Structure 1
Amino acid sequence: MIRPALSLVGLLAALTVVPAASAAGNSDYSVLIISRERLEVATTCEIGVYLNDQLSGRVFQEQSTSFNLPPGPVDIRLRLLPGQAPGCNPGLENQHNQRLTLQAGQINKYRIAMDHSGLHLTRASLDY
């Protein structure tokens, strides 16, 4: 009886030494979610997401991607990528960037849309 009691006390003492994992508190990154869930872009081609001029993600129809980024400004460019589907050669495109300023601990959701000037991001609600 004494041995199990000592084992229990030792286990409880060990648990107090190990810090608990927590998602709360000050976070030093921002979450950026880019979705293509709506059918606003009338193409089956995949869309490349370039962060600071580096291909960082690919988004197909009805998908989304997310990034954990440091706070501060980030330049985002969207572009059609050549792929498996016929007719997905990008050709000449408007190569404009959108600059977003991210705050630490913030979750930002944008959806991909298209207009006469090409692909761009529009703010979306989180809807959780």
Structure 2
Amino acid sequence: MRRAALGLFGLLGMFSLPPQVSAEGPSDYSVLIISRERLEVATTCEIGLYLNDQLAGRLFQEQSTSFNLPAGPVAVRMRLLPGQAPGCLPGIENQRSTQLNLQAGQINKYRIAVDQNGLYLKKASLGY
């Protein structure tokens, strides 16, 4: 009986110890907001957002999306995605990407716009 009681107290004592394990990793993030709220891109096609050459989001007209990203450089590329609407096959596109340097704790907002070279990001105000 005495052994069982000592074992029980020992087990309960272990649970009261503070944990010694901590999660290491990036703790400072930046917020990147990309919007297609204005009608600057005159197409009904879906636009794919690629972050560091990985498809990270899709935007239709009047939509926006946001990403919590670690601070540092990120490459953003956009392209028209094939869809159900006629004329949404991208064909040959300019595959340029925009290099952004994100700072920890910052909120960065960009709008998608188009010019003779294709889609690009235009800095926008947060409007808060």
TM-score of the alignment, normalized to the shorter chain, above 0.5:
yes
> 1:6-21 maps to which residues of 2 (within 5 A)?
none
Unaligned runs of at least 5 residues, structure 1: 1-26
TM-score normalised by L of structure 2:
0.78
Match of 1:42 in 2: 42
C-alpha distance after superposition, 1:36-74 (max 9, x if no partner): 000000000000000000000001000000000000000
Compare CA radii of gyration and give the structure with the larger one: 2
| Runs of 4+ deviating beyond 6 Å | none
Unaligned runs of at least 5 residues, structure 2: 1-26
TM-score normalised by L of structure 1:
0.78
> 1:85-124 maps to which residues of 2 (within 5 A)?
85-124=85-124
Q: CA shift at 1:87, angstroms?
A: 1.0
CA distance in 2, matches of 1:55, 1:86: 22
Q: Which residue identity lines up with residue 54 of structure 1 in the other structure? A: Q
CA RMSD of aligned residues (A): 0.7
Match of 2:78 in 1: 78
CA distance in 2, matches of 1:115, 1:90: 16
For this pair of structures, how many residues does the alignment match? 102
Q: CA shift at 1:85, angstroms?
A: 1.1
